[in-house]
Amino acid sequence: SEQPRMCQRRGFDPAQVAAGEALFNSPALLGGQAAKAGLSCAACHRNGRDNPHFQMPHLSGAPGTADVTNSFFGPARANAAFDPVVIPDLALPGKVSRAPNDPALGLFIRTLVVDEFSGAEPSAVMLDALTSYVRSIGPCPADDRTVEARRLAGQLRLIELAVTAAAASDDAAMQRQLIGAARHQLGLIDERYAWPRDAAFRRELLAASRDLATISEGMRVVPDRRLRLQKWQARFNIRLVPLLQQH
């Protein structure tokens, strides 16, 4: 329900950072058991930072730790030992270089997705977006300990980031992943509220998600998908966003 503030470094392409943030918050990127469990990169790294409250049975020791060599998510890095490590704050320097011209970060992220989580091979465009986002995560001033509430506005923002980035992308794999990211946020919105007296509105929210699925799987030509996504976002902003903001 809360997350630390992220102080963003300047000098990065805003569109790439936005696409990377949307992917970072999507379980579809990791696939496999992580996707089934609803875990995204942001589950361990709230707002790109850390998560001292993260705890999963058999995968965590103390809160804020995770065994990254457990076979539950994928066999490639399994070592048959229980060795949870503290989840790092991505705003702080780590073991992998984040220098702009160093490919190490992109290779590391690719290894996490494919080996640790058994996810699908990310496209080069997706890796560029993810590395841009991670590189943009900066430390806040020492006296800034702001904690933000995770509210509906943040989920609506992530939907818009994902759909806008998908519409702007020429990469089909990137488009599909970003559409999956938007659908995940719609699912979280559905979970956020109790709907006993608003079944019609819930059906409309579900229809919006299914429309995105149709756009993702039914349209094989990127330009056609782009136009459909733009129309979807406009309709969502007009019909659903005002209703959501009333709840």
- Over residues 162-185, mean pLDDT: 94
- Two tokens, residue 166: 């998908």
Residue 196 has pLDDT above 80, yes or no: no
Taking the model in full, what pTM does it have? 0.92
- Over residues 10-24, mean pLDDT: 96
Question: How far is the CA of 76 from the CAs of 35, 40, 68, 94, 114, in angstroms?
Answer: 17, 19, 11, 23, 9
pLDDT category of residue 73 using cuts at 50, 70 and 90: confident
pLDDT category of residue 171 using cuts at 50, 70 and 90: very high
Q: What angle do CA 185, 190, 191 make, to 5 degrees?
A: 95
**Residue of 45, 16, 15 whose CA lies nearest to 30:** 45
The pLDDT value given to residue 209: 95
pLDDT category of residue 113 using cuts at 50, 70 and 90: very high
Residue 55 has pLDDT above 90, yes or no: yes
- Over residues 65-79, mean pLDDT: 89
**Residue of 5, 45, 47, 48 whose CA lies nearest to 144:** 5
